[in-house]
Amino acid sequence: MDSFRHILGLRGMSADAITAILDRADALKPRITDKTKRGNELKGVSVVTLFYENSTRTIMSFLMAGGYMGAIMNDMSVSTSSVNKGESLFDTGKNLEAMGIDIIVIRHQQTGAPHFLAKALDAGTGIISGGDGSNEHPTQALLDLMTIREHFGFVKGLKVAIIGDITHSRVAKSNMFGLTTLGASVALAGPSTMVNAGFAKLCPNVTVTTDIKAAVKDADVVMGLRVQLERQKMSPFPDLREYSSLYAITPEILKLAKPGAMLMHPGPVNRGVEMCNPLMDSDRSYILTQAQNGVAIRMALLDLVAKARR
């Protein structure tokens, strides 16, 4: 039986638990665009976003999600906080817990930071991961699953091609776990310096290749990933133009997928690098639907974690 006391990753999360989150998000989605549907289920619940790395989509969608459900939302701006005076993650968390914070949403550059905080604060405060190092980004994968299920009506049996910087991508890992748990197959592709054949052993129905055409062939969904130059120790390719000439998603590449295949990207996009501009702005692109569904998924998660801790 899964518990929603913390949301730390999709590895090991059951299909029933993922489906419960997606169902709740579907039900809550209308309140994003319809002001009359906004509610107060989370009245009195206090939530802090604690982001040690930059973010636009994840942080803003959590802040909006909490607001649409009546929670007390605050961002602890790490760059102007006492973290810069050397305060540890443990002490920061303990001080937030002492202030009565019910849920902390954390993004951290270190793999395992959300798990560490969940262990330290389990009695008082729920932890939701907004992404840790190159480990997992569970809320992103959940919004991707929601977007795919919303389009097709199901996930089982679909083929999802994920293209780019696989090794450093927490989005690729969480998607791989979530998609295969719901019965999809996943083809991971990127330059040899950016893929890890070992990923195919982490869960069933995952293939790893350097051949973008093989990965995209007959795919129902083609997902680009951001080239994360900030996480590279050494340059994995001569320059971005070289990467783009071999691995950008172009109309010719997309033609290899099934007719009408969805084009997705978690953002932020390096425009013209991971996919060509006209495709990104075309009706094949679900990038802004992903951003919108991010609010719905985060409403569902705040609701489920708050309920699990009552």
Residue of the chain from 5, 19, 55, 196 that contacts ligand CP (CB under 6 A): 55
Q: Distance of CA 96 to CAs 107, 126, 131, 143, 240, Å?
A: 15, 12, 19, 28, 41
Question: What is the DSSP track for 281-299?
Answer: TSTTB-HHHHHHHHHHHHH
Residue of the chain from 100, 251, 268, 272 that contacts ligand CP (CB under 6 A): 268
Residue of the chain from 267, 273, 289, 292 that contacts ligand CP (CB under 6 A): 267
Torsion of Cα atoms, 61 then 261 then 268 then 271, to 10°: -150
Report the C-alpha gap between 55 and 77 in whole angstroms: 12
Q: By C-beta, is 134 or 140 nearer to ligand CP?
A: 140
- Supply the minimum distance, in Å, between the C-beta of residue 265 and ligand CP: 9
Residue of the chain from 9, 93, 164, 266 that contacts ligand CP (CB under 6 A): 266
Does the footprint of ligand CP cover residue 57 (CB under 6 A)? yes
Does the footprint of ligand CP cover residue 109 (CB under 6 A)? no
Does the footprint of ligand CP cover residue 135 (CB under 6 A)? no
Report the C-alpha gap between 274 and 309 in whole angstroms: 41
Does the footprint of ligand CP cover residue 133 (CB under 6 A)? no
Q: By C-beta, is 57 or 168 nearer to ligand CP?
A: 57
Q: By C-beta, is 135 or 140 nearer to ligand CP?
A: 140
Does the footprint of ligand CP cover residue 58 (CB under 6 A)? yes
Does the footprint of ligand CP cover residue 224 (CB under 6 A)? no
Does the footprint of ligand CP cover residue 70 (CB under 6 A)? no
Residue 230's contacts (CB-CB under 8 Å, 6 or more residues apart) are: none
Q: How many residues bind ligand CP, per CB under 6 A?
A: 9
> Quick check: helix, strand or coil at residue 6?
coil
Report the C-alpha gap between 108 and 131 in whole angstroms: 7
Q: Interacting stretch for ligand CP, rule CB under 6 A, among 81-89, 179-187, 241-249, 260-268?
A: 260-268
Q: Interacting stretch for ligand CP, rule CB under 6 A, among 49-57, 72-80, 161-169, 202-210?
A: 49-57
Torsion of Cα atoms, 119 then 139 then 23 then 65, to 10°: 90
**Residue that is written with structure tokens 């973290």 in the block:** 83
Does the footprint of ligand CP cover residue 140 (CB under 6 A)? yes
Report the C-alpha gap between 186 and 227 in whole angstroms: 19
Task: Report the interface residues with ligand CP, using CB under 6 A.
Answer: 55-58, 131, 140, 266-268
